[in-house]
Amino acid sequence: MLPYKSLIQIDRTSTIPLYIQVCNYFISFITKGTLQPSQMLPSTRILALLIGVDRNTIKLAYEELISQGWTESIERKGVYVLSSLPILTQKNNPDIKNLVEKQDAFIWTNKFSNAVHSKNLQKTQLAIDDGFPDVRLAPIDELMREYRSISRKFYGRNFLKYGDAKGSENLREALCKYLSTTRGLHVEIDDMLITKGSQMGIYLSAQLLLEPGDIIALGVSNYTTADDIFKQTGAKLLRIPIDDYGMDADYLEQILKKKKIKAVYLIPHHHCPTTVTLSMERRLKFLKLAKEHKFAIIEDDYDFDFHYANRPFLPLASIDHNENVIYLGSVTKTFAPALRIGFMMGPSNFIHSATALRELIDRQGDTTLEEAFASLFNQGEMNRYYRKALKIYKQRRDMFCELLKVNFPDEMVFKVPEGGLAVWSVFDTNIDLIKLSDNALKKGLYIDNGLFYKNELFSTNGLRMGFASLDEREMSEAISILKKVIP
């Protein structure tokens, strides 16, 4: 018999019932191979004596073991480890355990490597971020009020069961109305899919459009996460130069004489990272090329709502586009990044497929949150918010640019962005942004180190400097820390 007295240590202070504790010990003996199939368990009487608990506790434990299929009771003989259990080898040497385990583990190819996101951004109070909205301006309280009232109203209703994978019909309706007034974009609510942020729209488009070896055209500088999404489909990235008018359509035209492309990824308002706006002339040119060469345009227009120079340009999707445009937008990139709601529209059958894929990934979005946003749109709250935020962000942009100009006349070059929530600053090559970022953090300011924006063709010593989330005081404070750490 095993030395049960020393093997089983009952903990009377634990909230776990005694019989479960006993049961768990036996399971571990069996799975570790200490007790082998067909071996007998001690009698309830003896075990009770050995470990000092009531015999009924042991009986309960044994019943549990039997009902869970670990052991069997053979009449007049006793309780045995199930003879049909596979024999497990006992591991005597815990030192080699890890080694053995690694060798026996399943084999797979690691295709993805985790992006290294700085946790410092969340932990630092003061941050020059990538261009986030100021969550203090967003009507979070109103959103929560709606969220709560909707949950109450539908409490116990089918509402909390599964919903439409395309997302809340109310929100789609509100968004269609909003898009029609703000950008002349007319779309049927069935041709719209609510996504988790515009990023999911990029992912779904990539999965549907691209097969390994296909070519997708995108900027020499580009939103790096989009690059990663496209790469993982096995597609080849074809990089197109970006200048002050956005992506160079003529360059693409030349390429198209020799190569077929499957899609082009555009960020018309405002290119990430360099914040330029795609000119109307080029917008029309891309549409013309798409029609002639039958490729899809993925129009990531997440930044449409914050354009200061004039009314924002008409999206490609609002112009006659022969069903060649997949339009992506974000509600929450303009509101609060952690609340993830975006939308995607395009040809009916494409949206139908995208919905099917979305259903496989995560079934549906957060219905309650979607309904709450629908209410905010319908009450005019979102429009009020956009108007207010636009005004404040414009002031902040002007102030921030002024501060940069005055304080760092030789250290950086930038253009005042026509829109968006960040300034693209190119730093003097003598300034090491990694060091700058480290040193700023030591003084309480988060600022990115610029690595995120680099790729195999783009190595400018630049940085997106988000101004929108900083109020006047914070901005001065941030600049004064920057002054100390910029040599």
Gap between the terminal Cα atoms of the chain = 75
- Output the DSSP codes for 350-373: HHHHHHHHHHHHHS---HHHHHHH
- CB-wise, 382 or 412, nearer to a second copy? 382
Residue 319 Cβ, how far from a second copy at the closest point, in Å? 5
Query: Hey, which residues between 363 and 392 contact a second copy (CB under 8 A)?
Result: 363-364, 366-369
Near a second copy in 198-257, by CB under 8 A: 199-200, 203, 208-209, 211, 225, 228-229, 232
Whole-angstrom distance, CA of residue 463 vs CA of residue 400: 14
Q: Considering the rule CB under 8 A, would residue 181 count as an interface residue with a second copy?
A: yes
d(CA 255, CA 431): 36
How far is residue 420 from each of residues 108, 200, 232, measured CA to CA in Å? 41, 21, 28
Site for a second copy in 402-431 (CB under 8 A): none
* Helix ranges, 184-294 (H): 197-209, 224-231, 249-256, 280-293
Cα–Cα distance, 266 to 249 (Å, whole number): 11
Binding residues for a second copy restricted to 68-127, rule: CB under 8 A: 68-70, 82, 84-86, 88, 91, 100-102, 104-115, 117, 119, 121-125, 127
Residue among 188, 362, 398, 402 that touches a second copy (CB under 8 A): 362
Please say which residue, 125 or 429, places its beta carbon nearer to a second copy: 125
Print the binding letters for residues 449-478 with a second copy: x by CB under 8 A, - otherwise.
Answer: --------------------x---------
Q: How far is the CB of 77 from a second copy (least distance, A)?
A: 20
Give the nearest distance from C-beta 66 to a second copy in angstroms. Answer: 9
Q: How far is the CB of 395 from a second copy (least distance, A)?
A: 18
Both tokens of 343, joined, read 């939308």
469: nearest Cα among 405, 421, 415, 404? 421
* Distance, C-alpha 171 to centroid of its chain: 21
**Which SS3 state, helix, strand or coil, does residue 97 take?**
helix
CB of 192 to a second copy, least distance (A): 14
Check binding of 444 to a second copy (CB under 8 A): no
| Least Cβ distance, residue 313 to a second copy (angstroms) | 5
Q: Which residue in the set 239, 271, 285, 397 belongs to the binding site for a second copy (CB under 8 A)?
A: 285
d(CA 390, CA 468): 10
Site for a second copy in 300-359 (CB under 8 A): 309-311, 313-314, 319-320, 322-324, 336-340, 347, 349-350, 352-357, 359
Nearest CA to 138 among 395, 388, 341? Answer: 388
CB 450 within 8 A of CB 376: no
- Provide, rounded to whole angstroms, the least separation between the CB of residue 240 and a second copy: 17
Single residue of 7, 20, 40, 215 touching a second copy by CB under 8 A: 20
**Min dist. Cβ of residue 428 to a second copy (A):** 29
Euclidean distance between CA atoms 169 and 176, whole angstroms = 10
Residue with Cβ nearer a second copy (92 or 110): 110
Q: Which is nearer to a second copy, 45 or 186 (CB)?
A: 186
Residue with tokens 């629908």: 374
172 binds a second copy (CB under 8 A): no
User: Could you write out the DSSP letters of every residue in 264-330?
Assistant: EEE--SS-TTT-PPPPHHHHHHHHHHHHHHT-EEEEE-TTTT-B-SSSPPPPGGGS--TT-EEEEEE
Closer residue to a second copy in complex, CB, 170/469 = 469
Q: Give burial (CB, 10 Å; 0-12/13-18/19+) of 367.
A: buried
- Rounded least distance, CB 263 to a second copy, Å: 7
Q: Looking at beta carbons only, is 327 or 350 nearer to a second copy?
A: 350
Binding status of residue 31 toward a second copy by CB under 8 A: yes
State yes or no: residue 141 binds a second copy (CB under 8 A).
Answer: yes
